[in-house]
Amino acid sequence: MPTAIITGASRGLGLALARALADRGWNLVLDARGGDALQAAAEELSPKTQVVAVTGDVTDHGHRAELVEAARALGGPDLLVNNASLLGPSPQPKLADYPLDDFRAVYEVNVTAPLALIQLAMPLLAQSPQGRILNVTSDAGVEGYEGWGGYGSSKAALEQLSKVLAAEHPGLRVWWVDPGDMNTKMHEEAYPGEDISDRPPPEDSVPGILKLIDEDAPSGRYQARTPEAVG
């Protein structure tokens, strides 16, 4: 069976996608910073498939190498999902007041770490009959929302990185996917004190991602709830 690495897989979209792939028999290498939540996810999914849970920070080289080595041991990776993200300060500051140390941290998680993990996994992904990279982005990466300059610009950088990567590696599938608004902890942090219960659950964004995988869609930017190329 194919093997997927999914970062940020202890909750939200990462966990929802892991559940869907487990139902299909995919082997899974799951990452998150919170060990207890990640272990709970692994225990839930392990009756369905092989699951390796690796607690750690995607900004750490040793942790990234451990993820790739775990996938190698399972015969992969065939799919790398860069889902782990950092929102930054909450409430979101305007760029004129954005603490630069926080700004650098957002870019380290949202841009540098995905590229570093791609670089480590690339030799194995190139050997896969259907090597795929899925970078989770956001409409904040293309729209100019007030207060979203840190997170949004980091996602814009991830989108451009993905676009260039697709051009440089036409033999791979590289997808950058906007999952849409979701009822997740990150969205709660983005809107402190607001009720976001009307947002769709992350599970609603999973079928569109599965469609990309099933149809071996061309590299490009997609919206998960309407999985057609949007640019």
pTM of the model: 0.93
Q: Tell me the CATH architecture of domain 3-229.
A: 3-Layer(aba) Sandwich (3.40)
- Active-site entry in 98, 107, 145, 151: 151
Q: What is the pLDDT of residue 197?
A: 78
Burial of 48 (0-12, 13-18, 19+ CB in 10 A): middle
Edge-to-edge, what's the strand order for the sheet holding 132-136? 51-55, 27-32, 3-6, 79-82, 132-136, 173-178, 220-223, 226-229
Mean residue pLDDT across the chain: 93
Query: Band of the pLDDT at 140, cuts 50, 70, 90?
Result: confident
| 167-204 residue pLDDT tens | 999 999 999 999 987 666 776 676 777 777 787 889 99
134: its two tokens: 């899925």
| 40-88 residue pLDDT tens | 999 999 999 999 999 999 999 999 999 999 999 999 999 999 999 999 9
CB 186 within 8 A of CB 87: yes
**Whole-number Å distance between alpha carbons of 123 and 112:** 18
**Whole-number Å distance between alpha carbons of 31 and 38:** 7
b/e 49-84 (16+ beta carbons within 10 angstroms → b): bbbbbbbbebbeeebbebbbebbeebebbbbbbbbb
| 158-170 residue pLDDT tens | 999 999 999 999 9
172: its two tokens: 């791979």
SS3 204: helix
CB 109 within 8 A of CB 59: yes
Q: What is the pLDDT of residue 28?
A: 98
Whether 222 shows a pLDDT value over 90: the answer reads: yes
94: its two tokens: 């305007």
Mark whether 191 is an active-site residue.
no
SS3 125: helix
Whether 230 shows a pLDDT value over 60: the answer reads: no
